[in-house]
Amino acid sequence: MSFSSDVKEELEKRNDGAKHCQIAELAGLLAFSGKVRRARGGKWQLLFSTENKSARAAYMDLLAKAFAIGEGDLSVEREGRRVYTVRLTDEEQVHRALMAVKWMDPKTGQIEPVFVHDILIQREDDRKAFLRGAFLAAGSLTDPRKQYHMEIVCSYAADAKKLTQIFWFFHIDAHTVHRKNSTVVYVKEAGQITDALNLMGAYVSQMDLTNVVIYKEVRNEVNRKVNCETANSNKTAVAAVRQLKAIEKIRDEGGLESLPVQLREIAQARLENPELDLKSLGETLDPPIGKSGVNHRLRRLIQIADGLSQTNGK
């Protein structure tokens, strides 16, 4: 299963006891995957279509909890290879559900499906429940091992704007982008996505994502250190080669015996230990000297070798 499917499976099992939260989540599901259709005889039917089994299960569970509408009151039909439609046909039950999500005027009976009525999301927990329903119906999450990306696809720009405002209410930096005939609300930053998972109640998935983030940060830090150490090793090796060439030139053209004792000692130490860094090279001397002292003497040897080249015209 994908990470996105794991999140939805966890959200499916989320159990909000308050009826107002159940209705808010149901409103989120219907806002993205629900529609009303008049059947033969003029009766209204409520349809919920989805490819995701967790969204379907959550929808049916909410109908049972909020309205005591059981599986026996519903028909599940398969459309094509992947889409399943849950159909509610009892007119009295349809009216109760539609009035609950504010799609039907209780006085006139007029049906006007809306994205979400403000009265349904006045409480913070209702907004969280609505987001949960919205994500179950139309959301997805990229595998965080590859990239951080959470999105919910909206059919209308106005709906995307409203959904973005709900995210912003919780200080989640959501943005929108147009894609084909839809507007996509998306979140890119890992910390923001973990916050969104927490809001929706996907606590296990939140921890899984946090663990991935920590692992990637540690891995990146290790890579940075390895790269830094490799670069330093390369610089040390290049410097050692230059020092050896200078010492060999002095040895071949003037002899190391011509050097002052301190320079002769470090020259001999470098010839015998070409692989050592400056600190380790200084520790081979008696008495030992520090890194800066070694560096000063080796630079002096390079200057002497350069002087020999100028004198000899090489």
Q: What is the pLDDT of residue 66?
A: 92
Q: What is the pLDDT of residue 159?
A: 93
| pLDDT tens-digit series, residues 199-211 | 999 999 999 999 9
DSSP result, the chain: --HHHHHHHHHHT----SHHHHHHHHHHHHHHHEEEEE-TTS-EEEEEEES-HHHHHHHHHHHHHHH---GGGEEEEEETTTEEEEEE--HHHHHHHHHHTT-B-TTT--B---S--GGGGSSHHHHHHHHHHHHHHHEEE--TTT---EEEEESSHHHHHHHHHHHHHTT---EEEEETTEEEEEE--HHHHHHHHHHHT-HHHHHHHHHHHHHHHHHHHHHHHHHHHHHHHHHHHHHHHHHHHHHHHHHHHT-GGGS-HHHHHHHHHHHH-TT--HHHHHTTSSS---HHHHHHHHHHHHHHHHHHHHHHT-
Q: What is the pLDDT of residue 213?
A: 87
Q: What is the pLDDT of residue 172?
A: 95
What's the N-to-C CA distance of the chain in angstroms?
70
Mean pLDDT of all residues in the chain?
90
Amino acid at 196: A
Query: What is the reported pTM?
Result: 0.72
Q: What is the pLDDT of residue 312?
A: 64
Q: What is the pLDDT of residue 169?
A: 96
The pairing of strands 74-79 and 34-38 is unpaired
Q: Are 151 and 140 a contacting pair, CB within 8 Å?
A: yes
| Pairwise CA distance, residues 58 & 49, whole Å | 12
| pLDDT tens-digit series, residues 17-50 | 789 999 999 999 999 999 999 887 788 899 999 9
Q: What is the mean pLDDT of each run of 10 residues along the chain (314 residues)?
A: 90 86 95 90 90 93 93 86 89 93 87 91 95 96 92 94 96 93 94 94 92 86 82 79 88 86 90 87 90 91 84 59
